[in-house]
C-alpha cells in the first residue's frame, strides 16, 4: 500500500504525521470518501467541489487547487494499482502548537489513502439490513452545518456503538427536534407510493454525492424525488427503505427498531436504483491506469 502525504508516496509502515497535527488533536479538517470502479474514479469532480466547500466553510485554505488534487488522487490510485475500492482524501489544518487557535498552524496537510472497501457483507445487500434508532442525536444545523464533511465524527461513532450493542448493522440518527437526519455514515430514504423521500440538509443530513446520484436515477426512472422532513413514522410506514453512501452504495433496510418495514424484504424500487447505480459506475469516468 502506498499512501500520499503532502506530495510524496510512502509505504504504509512509513506513512507518519506529526502528533501536533490539529486534525489529530482537535478533529480540525475535512475529508472525502471516493469510489473506484473498474479503474475509474467515480464522481471525482463532485467530491472535490464538496471538499473545497467544506474547507472554505471552516476557513481552511486548500494547499492544492482542484486540478492538483485530482492528479494527486489519480497518482495514488495508479501507485496502488487499485481497480476497485475506496479513496480517503483528507485535508487537516496541519501542525501547530497545543491550543485551538487555527491561525497558528503553518500549512494544511493533504493525505490520500486507497484501499479495499466492504462496508457491509455482500449477503446483506440481498437480504437487507436492520437498523436501530440511536439515543445520540445529530448536532444542530445552527452549530455545525452537516454539509461540512468534517473530521470530527464522534457523534457518529457513539451512535454506531449503540447499533453494535443492539446487534444492528446501522444506527438512525434523529435531529434535536426528533426528526430523521441520517444514519452514521449514510443518507436514509423512504419510498412510499412510488415517491422517493429523503431529509434535506436543513434537517441534519449530509448533502451526499451518492444521494445526488439517487436523485438522478429516480428522475431517469420516472420516480418522484422529494427532500422533506421525515419522522420515524415515515420509515415505519414506508413501502421500502434504503441507505446510500459512497462506501455502502445502496443498501436496503428491512427493519427499524425490531419492526419490519413493509414485508421485511428489499423492495423492487431499491433493487432498480441499485442496478442503475452499478451500471452508471461501470461506464462513467476515464480509466486512471
Scanning the structure block, which residue is given the C-alpha cell 485535508?
91
**At residue 277, what are phi and psi to the nearest 5 degrees?**
-65, -45
57/55 Cα distance (integer angstroms): 5
C-alpha cell at 89: 482524501
127/144 Cα distance (integer angstroms): 35
For residue 78, give the DSSP letter. Answer: H
Other C-beta atoms within 10 Å of 203: how many?
A: 21
C-alpha cell at 272: 432498480
Question: Which candidate in 149, 160, 197, 211 is catalytic?
Answer: 149
- Length of the chain equals 289
181/159 Cα distance (integer angstroms): 13
155 catalytic? Reply is: no
Strands (E), the chain: 2-5, 8-11, 29-37, 40-41, 85-92, 109-115, 129-133, 170-174, 180-183, 187-192, 195-198, 224-227, 240-245, 249-256, 259-260
C-alpha cell at 7: 506530495
Q: How far is residue 113 from each of residues 3, 5, 32, 76, 150, measured CA to CA in Å?
A: 5, 9, 11, 8, 17
The answer to whether residues 235 and 256 touch, using CB atoms and an 8 Å cutoff, is yes
The answer to whether residues 92 and 21 touch, using CB atoms and an 8 Å cutoff, is yes
Task: Determine the 3-state secondary structure of 24 from DSSP.
Answer: helix
Q: How far apart are the first and last CA of the chain?
A: 16
Residues annotated catalytic, as ranges: 149
Amino acid at each position: 500500500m502506498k499512501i500520499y502525504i503532502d506530495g510524496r508516496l510512502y509505504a504504509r509502515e512509513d506513512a507518519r504525521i506529526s502528533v501536533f497535527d490539529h486534525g489529530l488533536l482537535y478533529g480540525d479538517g475535512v475529508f472525502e470518501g471516493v469510489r473506484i470502479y473498474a479503474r475509474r474514479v467515480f464522481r471525482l469532480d463532485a467530491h472535490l467541489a464538496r471538499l473545497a466547500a467544506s474547507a472554505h466553510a471552516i476557513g481552511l485554505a486548500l494547499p492544492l487547487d482542484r486540478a492538483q488534487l485530482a492528479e494527486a488522487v489519480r497518482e495514488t490510485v495508479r501507485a496502488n494499482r487499485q481497480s476497485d475500492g475506496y479513496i480517503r482524501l483528507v485535508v487537516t489544518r496541519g501542525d501547530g502548537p497545543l491550543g485551538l487557535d487555527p491561525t497558528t498552524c503553518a500549512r494544511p496537510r493533504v493525505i490520500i489513502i486507497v484501499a479495499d472497501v466492504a462496508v457491509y457483507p455482500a449477503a446483506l445487500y440481498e437480504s437487507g439490513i436492520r437498523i436501530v434508532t440511536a439515543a445520540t442525536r445529530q448536532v444542530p444545523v445552527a452549530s455545525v452545518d452537516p454539509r461540512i464533511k468534517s473530521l470530527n465524527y464522534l457523534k457518529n461513532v457513539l451512535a454506531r456503538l449503540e447499533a453494535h450493542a443492539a446487534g444492528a448493522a446501522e444506527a438512525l440518527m434523529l435531529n434535536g427536534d426528533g426528526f430523521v437526519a441520517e444514519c452514521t455514515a449514510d443518507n436514509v430514504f423512504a419510498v412510499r407510493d412510488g415517491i422517493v423521500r429523503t431529509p434535506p440538509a436543513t434537517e441534519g443530513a449530509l448533502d451526499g454525492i451518492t444521494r445526488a446520484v439517487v436523485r438522478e436515477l429516480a428522475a431517469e426512472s420516472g420516480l418522484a424525488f422529494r427532500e422533506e422532513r421525515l419522522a420515524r413514522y415515515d420509515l415505519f410506514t414506508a413501502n421500502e427503505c434504503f441507505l446510500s453512501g459512497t462506501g455502502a452504495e445502496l443498501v436496503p433496510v428491512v427493519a427499524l427498531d425490531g419492526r419490519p418495514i413493509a414485508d421485511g424484504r428489499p423492495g423492487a424500487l431499491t433493487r432498480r436504483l441499485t442496478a442503475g447505480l452499478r451500471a452508471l459506475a461501470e461506464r462513467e469516468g476515464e480509466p486512471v491506469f
